[in-house]
Amino acid sequence: NRLGIQSIPRVQIGQTLFNSVKIPRENILGNKGQGYKNLFSGLVAERCSIIGSSLGIAWLTAVSGLIYTNLRVQFGRDYFI
Q: How confident is the model at residue 61 (pLDDT cuts 50, 70, 90)?
A: very high
How far is it, in rounded angstroms, from Cα 50 to Cα 56? 10
Determine the pLDDT at residue 7: 56
How far is it, in rounded angstroms, from Cα 67 to Cα 42? 38
Determine the pLDDT at residue 57: 94
Determine the pLDDT at residue 62: 95
How far is it, in rounded angstroms, from Cα 68 to Cα 54? 21
What predicted TM-score, i.e. pTM, was given to this entire model? 0.50
Q: Is the confidence at residue 9, as pLDDT, over 60?
A: no
